Amino acid sequence: MKQKILITGGAGYIGSHTCVELYHVGYIPIIVDNLCNTSIDNIKGIEKIISCKIKWYNINCCDINAMEKIFEVEKIIAVIHFAAFKSVEESVVNPEKYFTNNLKSLEFVLDCMFKYDVSNIIFSSSCTLYGTPENLPVNENEKFKTAESPYGETKQLGEKLLENADNNSISLRYFNPIGSHSSSLIGDCSADKPANLVPIITETAIGKRHEITIYGDDYNTYDGTAVRDYIHVEDLAIAHVSATRYIIKNSGKHAFNVGTGKGTSVLEAIKSFEKTNNIILNYKIGERRKGDIEKIYADPKFIKDKLGWEAKKTLDDAMKSAWEWERNKK
Ligand SMILES: NC(=O)c1ccc[n+]([C@@H]2O[C@H](COP(=O)([O-])OP(=O)(O)OC[C@H]3O[C@@H](n4cnc5c(N)ncnc54)[C@H](O)[C@@H]3O)[C@@H](O)[C@H]2O)c1
């Protein structure tokens, strides 16, 4: 009998890729998503990729009565909780929106799990938890700094909620997800104005933007530009499959970094895009941006040891798929 996994935010960027990977290894993903920050095209895209219909509840996770009905009807073995708002910038302007949606949705999911005896939850956390880490590569034992934004605070509080809940839980601390599915049928449909490098690169390449501004070239890094750990979204989706398999068989509470372990500078990322797609990009050097940290990249050893997962795709793979997605976007 196939096991059902409830995927909140399953129509979003990372959730849609995860639904596809879970389906391919024999789970039944069931989506809860009110499309507040995505498009129905991602649901259609999932169905095209897996060649069958997917169950989708168009419901707000903060509607406890509607959520309870899902738990009553479906026999769920685990929940993967993606549903949240994700714009760091917006969270600074409108923190209430972030605390309400990101924390209430998690609390209600946990309430439903308790009531309907579902033990296993995987939570979308973020490397923003670490702030500016003292040690690099950063591992899971690094002390959290004061969060630099209300968004980051919702991830710290989310992990805390899970620590105190009566569930098995895995917090996956994503580094910088980029790229799209190889089919170009699913991707990031969020309404957030891109502040991340790769959407800015692809929008510049297609002509929606005139140029890329590189925020600072005087950091203490090998070429002076900021360093991040870019993880292909298909690899990230597979990390959720590994986490799902693990949590169904093992009890306890865990947190894992999900990154490649490789630091990539902004300039290196731009060069990778140019080389892979044979496109020359306009870029200029600007001032450092407030809130940006100099460098962060993961120590991915713990997740490899425990879950047997490691990133397989290259930066060039991600840049190729990101460009395909931009070109095919409606
Ligand atoms: N993309 C990143 O760079 C990144 C990095 C670290 C962590 N994360 C986290 O990963 C998760 C998924 O991120 P994403 O990039 O796929 O974002 P996304 O916005 O594409 O996906 C989130 C989905 O959740 C849905 N949603 C939000 N609130 C909801 C609610 N109350 N009820 C029902 N549906 C709701 C949205 O419609 C959207 O489809 C989020 O929790 C995010 O904070 C993302």
Written as one string, the DSSP assignment of 95-131 is HHHHIIIIIHHHHHHHHHHHHTT--EEEEEEEGGGGS
151 among known catalytic residues: yes
**pLDDT tens for residues 224-233?**
999 999 999 9
Q: Is the distance from the beta carbon of residue 161 to the nearest atom of ligand 1 less than 6 Å? A: no
Tokens 């510049």 -> residue: 204
From 7, 18, 31, 36, mutation site for ligand 1 pocket: most ligand atoms within 8 A of C-beta: 36
- Region 207-222: what's the mean pLDDT? 96
Residue nearest to atom 39 of ligand 1 (CA): 12
Give me ligand 1 centre to Cα 10, in Å: 8
Ligand 1 pocket, 16 CB below 6 A?
no
Q: Which amino acid is at 52?
A: C
Quote the ligand 1 centre to 11 CA distance (angstroms).
9
- In angstroms, what is the span from residue 190 Cα to ligand 1's centroid? 9
Output the pTM of the full model: 0.98
- Is the pLDDT at 330 greater than 80? The verdict is no
Ligand 1 pocket member 61 (CB < 6 A): yes
Distance in angstroms (rounded) separating the CA atoms of residues 36 and 33: 8
Domains of the chain (ranges; CATH) run: 4-180+230-259+298-312 (3.40.50.720)
Q: Which of 79-93, 117-131, 191-205, 309-323 has the lowest mean pLDDT?
A: 191-205
From 43, 86, 170, 240, the mutation candidate for ligand 1 (largest count of ligand atoms within 8 A of CB) is 86
User: What are the tens digits of pLDDT across the range 288-306?
Assistant: 988 788 999 999 999 999 9
Ligand 1 centre from 33 Cα, in Å?
10
**pLDDT tens-place string over residues 102-156:** 999 999 999 999 999 999 999 999 999 998 899 999 999 999 988 888 999 999 9
Q: Is the CB of 38 within 6 Å of ligand 1?
A: yes
Nearest CA to ligand 1 atom 11: 82
> 264-265 and 227-228 as β-strands: parallel, antiparallel, unpaired?
antiparallel
| Residue 97, token pair as written in the block | 């929106």
96-106: buried (b, 16+ CB within 10 Å) or exposed (e) per residue?
eebbebbbebb
Distance 129 CA to ligand 1 centre (A): 16
For the stretch 184-200, what's the b/e string if a residue is b when 16 or more beta carbons lie within 10 angstroms of its beta carbon?
A: bbbbbbbeeebebbbbb
